[in-house]
Structure 1
Amino acid sequence: MQIRDLPHPDPGVPDVRTGGRFLVWLYRRQLGGQFKAMAWGLVHTGAVASFPVPVGIAVQAVADRSGAGLALAGGLMVVLGVLVSVGDTMLHRAAVTNWITAVARIQQLLARKTAELGSALTRRVAAGEVVAVSTGDLEKIGWFVEAISRFSAAALTTVGVCVALVIYQPTLGVVVAIGVPVLALAVLPLLPRATRRADEQREKAGRATELASDTVAGLRVLRGIGGEELFLGRYRTASQDVRKAAVRSARMWSLISAVQVALPGLLLIVVVWYGARLALDGRIEIGALVTMYSAVTFLLYPLQHFEEIAQAYSFSRPSAKRAARVLALSRPADGRITDHAPLQGDLYDPATGLLAPAGRLTAVVCGDPDAAGRLAERLGGHPASEPDERDERDERGECAAGGPGEANSASHSADRADAGEATASRTGGAGDPGNATGEGGEKDCGEAAADAAAPTLAPLPSVELGGTPLDDVPRDAARQAVLVQDKDPVLLSGTLHELFDVPSSGAVTAEQALAAAQCDDVLAALTQSGTDGSGDPMHSRITERGRSLSGGQRQRLALARSLVTDPEVLVLDEPTSAVDSHTEARIADGLHALRDGRTTVVLTSSPLVLDRADQVVFLPYGEVTAVGPHRDLLRTCPAYLSVVTRETDEERARKQTADASVPRKDPQEDPGEGLPAGPRDGAQDTSHEASADIPRDTGSATPPHARVGALDSIEETA
């Protein structure tokens, strides 16, 4: 494998049982490159090791006054010099190629794992650990892969030199052959302590990096509450801990380096002293003594590679362990049904009773953003972390979806399925939505916690599309049929044209999607900031994660990208949470028009979006409790009214008290009876949907009754 051949056609399936097995698997995947590097290493170190031979011949030729001997020595030195130069150059080239190809293989594996897990990756592994694996850990693993070939060549050359010395001068050769292994193994007792200190340093560095990233991410909030100095002080303390750990680690590695220098020096002294006595006794010639001295001096060079491989392994082992832990994460990819019919039809979730009719825009109100995110992931099929989430709810023993029923719903999937079928029958027939309001899961938290503590948790049933369970079909087929956009979509760096270069049906153009997502101001801003001079916003570049754009602009571009794909089912989780009310109303109209005839599910609590949906499903505690048009639910479902208008418990209690003290009128006498009442005592709602006339980022607030009135005026204007 050459660098020009990257990326790898297939990075393979790694052995992630342990970090050591992962390193072995990585080495075996590039045996050809390793043998090539080792061959050039043998040329290099063998030439260096052979230099004592011409040196000894030259010294002996001077002693014997032999011109032919000097010429021979000179010729050998020239040849060995060329071999040293060529071997070192090619060794470096081959070793670096191994380094780059190994790192590229791991990067491809990490990218494949990220695409497989999606947003569930950061819920299973800390974001700081993912960053550490994809940056510093790759460098350490690459260093070990690169050092293996040099170490192998040095070890083979050392063995060859020792054998040659024993044959050439058995008396001195035996001393060298015994001393070199002792020198190589002398540092082994120090390696465990050095490794522990290095692990401690990396652990503290990882904590400091995670603390820094969290601080930067929440810097605006920290400044608002006056906690900036507190977190900066914590980071200073963590940074000093990293410095002290690094000094402790460096001291141990310095001791190892000192041992690697001192012991070979002692061996050299012993060989020179013993060889000098042999020369004085006439048992060896002066040229042989010089050859032995030069050979022992050379052996100091491969011992450096022994130290390097020890350091590389000590640093790469925990890095490989972290990489293997990330790569070991998995989610089901294959389904038991391969010859399934085209995935189309109604989208039905047996666990919650949610039914999204084919070709219609269905809005879902959960009341809890986390519950909405989990539901959106389920609707896409093959949920990545559902067991983990159920375990977390079991450990907490608390209500997960803003109310008590979520824990109960996590424990009894069969009950949810029965309730879901009953709800589906109501939504599929001519039932009155008001009949679905009364009992939908109003349980207290104690009962929910008891249900959550059940000893066994049955797996949740799969979401069905047209009667086919999505978990039973291959994951790629499920993703092709159902596209899920979470509440925090990511924009990759590149041009706007590249952003919309995604797999799609071709029925929706980028222009249509941008218009539906109300991206006119985004296109104007990109045109002004464009540097290519073409004036075409599609050629304007977007920075990493769209940081040059506002939150609302990023959200609208992500929505337009999802609309371009034109999937059979589109699931959107809070797609308009960062835009103002006027833009939100136009986006809702554009979304309804562009997705006409396609199944669309929007998880939101915005009245502007809910008012334009074909049907609204109220799902507060993990179970469907009401289905119908937005305005009907406002009149017939008090719980739905509280969620949509952000009514607090205190406001609800005051309203119930006031309602109890005022005689109820006949609805026929007062047509306004049953409409939502605003907060008493001047209380105001501060949600982001507060006003249809004031942008959300102004911080303004509007009472719920004014917001409902705005809805009426918008409908009349339309």
Structure 2
Amino acid sequence: MRDYPPLVTAWTDRSAVASDPTVPDTRSPGRLLWWFIRNQGLLFVVCALLSLTWVLPGATAPWILGRAVDEGIVPGDTARLGVWVLALLAVTVVGAGSGVLYHTMVVRSWLVALYGTVSLVTHKSVQLGHVLPRRVPTGEVLSVSGSDSDQFGAFLEIVTRAIGEFIALVVVAVIVLRIDPELGAVILLVAPLLVLTSAPLLRPMGNAQTRERTRDSELTGRATDIVAGLRILRGIGGERTFGSNYAVQSQRVRHAGVRAGGWQALVESIGVLLSGLFVVALMWLGVARVRDGQLQIGELITFLGYALFLLQPIRTFFFLTQKATRAFVSARKSASVLGQPDPWPQDREGRLDPSGPLVDQASGLWVEPGELTVVVSADPDASAALADRLGRYLPRDVDPLSMDSDEDARGRAATAARRRAEEQRRTIQERDREQADRAWGVTLGGVDLADVPLEEVRRTILVSDTAAAVFAGTLQDAVDPHGRCTREQAEAALRAACAEDVYDITPGGWQGLLDERGRGLSGGQRQRLVLARALAHDPEVLVLVEPTSAVDAHTEAAIAERLGRHRLGRTTVVMSASPLLLHHADRVVFLSDGAVADRGTHDDLVARRPDYRRVVLRAASEEVPA
């Protein structure tokens, strides 16, 4: 039996059915929901069987009660009455025990679906890395991992319950048909009639839930952005503006939720109304049969019991339509995230030579192996773009699209809006694949980065930029997430990054816990911890982007002095205009308009290039946070 955490994989291919059962089928929402059912395998079957054994005793209880009245109470046969009482006790015990087991297993099934979805999203995020935010908003990813995973669990629960209650409905119909064919026909027709009655309401309810889901994911993304940039917002006084925008979006989510809830309430009210009418009609027909002498009193009690019993299956079928609609909406969103293809070619077999120079053809950068090279540019975006190219990262020139580009559209307009958004997403995917497949223009040891597997590039070249995050966990995990370092190596990385104070203030030392994003640390401490992590990894080629922008001058001077010693004999490229780092560089490269304008030592460039002096002096005069 499949238990949690379930086995899943990050790779999904929307163009073909994968033979690996752990690969979700994201070609359509329906296929993804069916994959969730197949992926649970025996667990789903067990839940359905337990649901049946839980519901069937309730389906037979009215018949047993009716037989007890007709064969035991009316004729005064105590023995027969005792037999039927024991039978009623037996089915009650079986039903109660099965109910406990069913609840236990269905919670397990729910957790498998929930944590399985979280694991799928995590693996997809790891697989695509920086590519995923180019295609999907951050809030959308979080919503799939958070709320949609719960919808899949609820869908599986209601499906297993509906299977058991459908079989019970058939059993009841057979029993009633044997007693009275006309009343049995009424019972058989009532469920399809209720479904047909509510069917026209499912599409507007689904559209309203989609609109609520889209606005909620946008609200989640906005909250994530605010939390990530809270320090900056406070510095520029932008909390009120962003808070107001968040409040506006929150109200839009509330309005969409009210509208979706209204449609859901309408569907439920129709279900309650028709269920009540059904009970009244069934009882009216049964009383008429007793009056005409066609039914015995015990059979009437049986009909009364079934009239009340059938309310639950009917409500379950209504819940099935509602939860299936929500699950379909969630599956469409999840398929858009999990079905994002990997743009990187899988057929590369080259190998990089770290002993050779690192060359960027677009800018003309030439980095000698084993040297500490500092790149200075008046345009920080040019330096960041160069660092991305050196690490084989796609350019940051695409804003992610929302899953629904026109959330207020309805009917055909909504369908057309989704098609336009899908076309735009496909265009971005094709552009990413085209960029990843062609020659990259950056070589290491004469080998283009596009000619080797991406794993080889990531193993050899490490880029640590200003967006690097600190994750929750121990200090040891933060510095050495892969568990490769000895204690001496980890301590050497902390010293080189001047991050010893982080160790000192963390209760428990290496096993002390850090909050998510390092919330208990200052900006400078977080930056130095990220630098220590990069140094502890000890790659053949290390690219650092503004590694000392958040530290004071004294600490920056110590880092500049220790960095070169720690990376001695390894190729290191630093994007910075800090004079303290420039003084310790083996070579300085000056970029102008994204291309190499000059190279040499810091003193030589200061002496012969006024534009270089302006950039460096401006950096030196800027106030550095403590």
| TM category, shorter | 0.7 to 0.9
2:521 is matched with 549
* Equivalent of 1:350 in 358, 361, 369: 361
User: In structure 2, what is the Cα distance between the partners aligned to 1:339 and 1:175?
Assistant: 72
* Equivalent of 1:525 in 505, 514, 529: 505
What are the Cα deviations for residues 662-686 of structure 1, in whole angstroms up to 9, with x where unaligned? xxxxxxxxxxxxxxxxxxxxxxxxx
Q: 1:632 to 1:620 in 2, by over 3 A?
A: same
**TM-fit CA distance, 1:334:** 5.0
2:621 is aligned with 1:690: yes
Alignment check: 8 A CA contact 2:8 2:116 kept: no
- What is the letter of the counterpart of residue 493 of structure 1? A
1:178 is matched with 189
* Equivalent of 2:557 in 585, 598, 609: 585
1:465 is matched with 444
- What is the letter of the counterpart of residue 6 of structure 1? P
Matches within 5 A, 1:615-626: 615-626=587-598
Alignment check: 8 A CA contact 1:504 1:565 kept: no
User: In structure 2, what is the Cα distance between the partners aligned to 1:156 and 1:300?
Assistant: 15
User: In structure 1, what is the Cα distance between the partners aligned to 2:384 and 2:124?
Assistant: 21
2:492 is matched with 512
Higher relative contact order (CA 8 A, sep 6+): 2
User: In structure 2, what is the Cα distance between the partners aligned to 1:255 and 1:335?
Assistant: 51
Alignment check: 8 A CA contact 2:283 2:304 kept: yes
Matches within 5 A, 1:598-609: 598-609=570-581
1:562 is matched with 534
User: In structure 2, what is the Cα distance between the partners aligned to 1:40 and 1:200?
Assistant: 36
Matches within 5 A, 1:151-550: 151-218=162-229, 228-338=239-349, 340=351, 344-381=355-392, 383-384=393-394, 388=398, 459=438, 461-503=440-482, 506=485, 509-526=489-506, 530=507, 532=508, 537-550=509-522
Q: 1:327 to 1:561 in 2, by over 3 A?
A: same
- Quick check: which has more Rg, 1 or 2? 1
1:419 is matched with none
- What is the letter of the counterpart of residue 55 of structure 2? T
Matches within 5 A, 1:614-693: 614-646=586-618, 687=619, 689-690=620-621
Unaligned runs of 5+ in 1: 392-455, 647-686, 699-718
1:8 is matched with 7
User: In structure 1, what is the Cα distance between the partners aligned to 2:44 and 2:66?
Assistant: 34
SS at structure 1 position matched to 2:573 = strand
What are the Cα deviations for residues 541-595 of structure 1, in whole angstroms up to 9, with x where unaligned? 2111111001111111111111111111111111111111221121122110011
**TM-fit CA distance, 1:342:** 5.9
What are the Cα deviations for residues 612-648 of structure 1, in whole angstroms up to 9, with x where unaligned? 11112223333322222222222333333333333xx
* Identical amino acids, percent of aligned pairs: 37
Q: 1:227 to 1:461 in 2, by over 3 A?
A: closer
Q: 1:220 to 1:387 in 2, by over 3 A?
A: closer
User: In structure 2, what is the Cα distance between the partners aligned to 1:494 and 1:220?
Assistant: 22
User: In structure 1, what is the Cα distance between the partners aligned to 2:46 and 2:530?
Assistant: 47
- What is the letter of the counterpart of residue 274 of structure 1? L
User: In structure 2, what is the Cα distance between the partners aligned to 1:697 and 1:623?
Assistant: 30
Alignment check: 8 A CA contact 1:493 1:546 kept: yes
Q: 1:119 to 1:629 in 2, by over 3 A?
A: same
2:29 is aligned with 1:19: yes
What are the Cα deviations for residues 515-544 of structure 1, in whole angstroms up to 9, with x where unaligned? 111123323322xxx1x5xxxx22322111
What are the Cα deviations for residues 77-107 of structure 1, in whole angstroms up to 9, with x where unaligned? 1111112112212222222212111222222
Alignment check: 8 A CA contact 2:356 2:368 kept: yes
**TM-fit CA distance, 1:62:** 1.2
SS at structure 2 position matched to 1:625 = strand
User: In structure 2, what is the Cα distance between the partners aligned to 1:472 and 1:607?
Assistant: 37
2:21 is aligned with 1:41: no
Q: 1:496 to 1:209 in 2, by over 3 A?
A: closer
TM-score, normalised on structure 1? 0.75
**TM-fit CA distance, 1:190:** 1.6
SS at structure 2 position matched to 1:502 = coil
2:107 is aligned with 1:128: no
Alignment check: 8 A CA contact 2:286 2:300 kept: yes
**TM-fit CA distance, 1:301:** 0.7
Q: 1:198 to 1:510 in 2, by over 3 A?
A: same
**TM-fit CA distance, 1:232:** 3.9
SS at structure 2 position matched to 1:627 = strand
Say what the alpha-carbon RMSD is for the aligned residues. 2.8
Q: 1:116 to 1:375 in 2, by over 3 A?
A: farther
Q: 1:326 to 1:636 in 2, by over 3 A?
A: farther
TM-score, normalised on structure 2? 0.85
Farther off after superposition, 274-283 or 333-342: 333-342
Alignment check: 8 A CA contact 1:17 1:324 kept: yes
SS at structure 2 position matched to 1:484 = strand
Unaligned runs of 5+ in 2: 11-21, 402-433
2:39 is matched with 29
What are the Cα deviations for residues 128-183 of structure 1, in whole angstroms up to 9, with x where unaligned? 22222222222222222332211222223223322343234323211221223212
**TM-fit CA distance, 1:52:** 1.2
**TM-fit CA distance, 1:390:** 14
Alignment check: 8 A CA contact 1:496 1:542 kept: yes
Alignment check: 8 A CA contact 2:142 2:220 kept: no
Alignment check: 8 A CA contact 1:360 1:600 kept: yes
